[in-house]
Chain A
C-alpha cells in the first residue's frame, strides 16, 4: 500500500529498535530501521520518511546533530527518545525543531499516541493549514481565531489579550510540546530570564479561567521545566 506512512527508526539498541518496529508495523506503518548516525542520515535521504523516531545517544555521533541536519532539509516530524534525567536535552531537541519526546521506558500506547499526534500535526501544517479566521475545537473547548473569542461548552471565557495569544499559539501547535522560550518569542518577541515567570503567571490565570484541575485531563498539559502541550 503506497499510502502507508513510512517511519525511520534511529535507535542503536537492537531490542528497542525491534520493539518499536513491531509496534509500528502492527499498526500498519512501514518502518525503516537504522542503528547508527551514519545509517540514519543515509536512510533519511534515500527513503524520505514521513516520521522519524530518533534516539539521542548513538554510538557514532550525537542524535542532536542528526536532528540539526534533518531540520536543515525538511520539517518532517521527529520524535526524540530520551532517558529520564536529560531535561536539558529535551529542551534543546525541542528548540532544534523536534516535535515531541518520549521518555524511556515508555508504554506502547504512549508511543503510538505520540506518533499519531505528530503525524496529525504534520498533516495540518502541510496541506490543510488553518486559515487565520478558522476555529479550533477540542472536546467542549472552542477557539474562534478570527473573533478572538474562546468558549467552553458554549459559554464564553473572557481571556486577556496575552492569554488569548498564548492559547491560540498553543492550539495551532497542538500535539507538539512548545518550549517556554518558543512561546515567549512568539508572544513578546524577545526572551529574557524574567519572561518565563511572566508566561507562567499568564498560564496560571488562564488555567483558572479554563477550570483546570490538577491531575485531571486538562486542555493544556504541563511539561515541567520544558513548556506546554495542547
Chain B
C-alpha cells in the first residue's frame, strides 16, 4: 500500500468519485428527470474528493471537471459547451465557488487535526522533559556537591567520608547514564518517524550480550536462563531490545523485595518468541499494575525514593520499544508470589544451512 505514490492514489480517488457522480447523474436524469439534483450530486462528489485527498489540487480539479461535465452532458443544449446562456454560466460559477470553498474548509480541518495531535505530542514531550529535568537535578547535586567538597577540603574530611562521597558520585553518575540511555531511546522512538534499525539477530548471542551488560551492573545477581535449543533469529534493534531486557531485570532487582530467584525464559510459539522474566519477590501492587507501562508522569504520587530506581521511565520505555517492534508487553503477579513480565517479538523464518 505504502509503495504506491500518494499522488497516484489521490488521482485514482478523484477519477473514481467523478465517474461515480457521472453515473449517478445519468441514472437520475433517465429515471426521474430530476434535473435540479445534478449540481448537488457533483458538489457532493467534489466535497468527498477534497476530504479524501491531500491539499487543494484534486478538489479544485474535481470542481472544474464537474462543471465541464455538467455543462456538456446535463445542460441544454446537450453535448456542447455553451456558457453564453446566462443560466448555465451562473450555475457553473456557483458550482465552482461552492466547490472551492468546500476544498478550503476540508483542508483547513485536516490541518487543524494534525496540529492538534502535534500539540498533544508536544505536551507529552514537555511533561516528560519537566519530570526528567527534575529527576536529573538530584544526582547532579550529589556529584557536584561531593566533588567540590573534596576539592575544597582543607583536611577536615576523613578517609571514610571521602570514600563514601566517591561512591555516591559513581552511583549517581551510573544512574544518570542509564537515564540518558532511556531518554535517547525515547527520542529515537519519538512520533511517526521511528528510527529503529532492525537487523537479524541470533537469539542466544543477543541474550549473552544483554546478560553480560546486566552482570556488569549487578555482579551479585544470578539470572537463571532457559532458552530453546534451535537456531532462532529475530529482526530487532538489538540495542533497544537489550535495554528492555535490562530494564525489566533491573526493575526486579530494585523492587522485588525478598527475591531469591530471577529467571529469564524464552520460548517460541507459532512464529513468536516469548520472553518471560519472572521473580519470586513481593510482586507488584494492584494499583501500580494498571499504569506500570505508562505511569511515568504520575511519579509525584510515588514515595520519593522510588524515583531513584529509574523504574517509571524504564518500563514506559520498554513498552514503547516493544510496540515499535510490533510486539506486546504485559506484567502480572504470579500466584506463587513474585511478578512476571512477558513480551513477544516475531521470529524470522530461517532456512537451516550449514
Contacts of A198 in B (CB 8 A): 353-354
* A84 touching B184, Cβ below 8 Å: yes
A214 to B208, CA, bound (A): 4
Residue picked from A196, A197, A212, A224, most chain B C-beta under 10 Å: A224
* Residues of B162-220 whose CB lies within 8 A of A: 173, 177, 181, 184, 188, 197, 199-202, 204-212, 214-215
In chain A, what residue has the closest Cβ to B227? Answer: A214
Contacts of A85 in B (CB 8 A): 184, 188, 239
* A214 touching B207, Cβ below 8 Å: yes
A225 to B239, CA, bound (A): 9
A230 to B239, CA, bound (A): 21
Question: Given contacts A84-B181, A198-B353, A225-B199, are A215 and B212 in contact (CB under 8 A)?
Answer: yes
A197 to B233, CA, bound (A): 9
Interface: B238 (CB within 8 A): yes
Question: Given contacts A84-B181, A222-B209, are A201 and B354 in contact (CB under 8 A)?
Answer: yes
* A204 touching B207, Cβ below 8 Å: no
* A215 touching B204, Cβ below 8 Å: no
Residue picked from A213, A214, A218, most chain B C-beta under 10 Å: A214
Interface: B75 (CB within 8 A): no
Interface: B128 (CB within 8 A): no
Q: CB-defined interface of B72-102 with A at 8 Å, one 1/0 digit per residue?
A: 0000000000000000000000000000000
**Interface secondary structure of B, over-half rule:** helix
Interface: B254 (CB within 8 A): no
Contacts of A213 in B (CB 8 A): 225
* B238 touching A207, Cβ below 8 Å: no
* Residues of B288-327 whose CB lies within 8 A of A: none
* A215 touching B211, Cβ below 8 Å: yes
* Residues of A190-224 whose CB lies within 8 A of B: 196-198, 200-205, 207, 212-215, 218, 221-224
* A224 touching B201, Cβ below 8 Å: yes
**Interface secondary structure of A, over-half rule:** mixed
Interchain nearest-CB distance for B45 vs A (Å): 49
Interface: A127 (CB within 8 A): no
* B214 touching A215, Cβ below 8 Å: yes
Interchain nearest-CB distance for A7 vs B (Å): 24
A138 to B214, CA, bound (A): 24
* A197 touching B200, Cβ below 8 Å: yes
Interface: A87 (CB within 8 A): yes
**15 residue pairs bridging A and B, Cβ less than 8 Å apart:** A84-B184, A87-B197, A87-B239, A105-B173, A198-B354, A200-B202, A200-B205, A201-B354, A212-B208, A214-B207, A215-B212, A215-B223, A215-B225, A224-B238, A225-B199
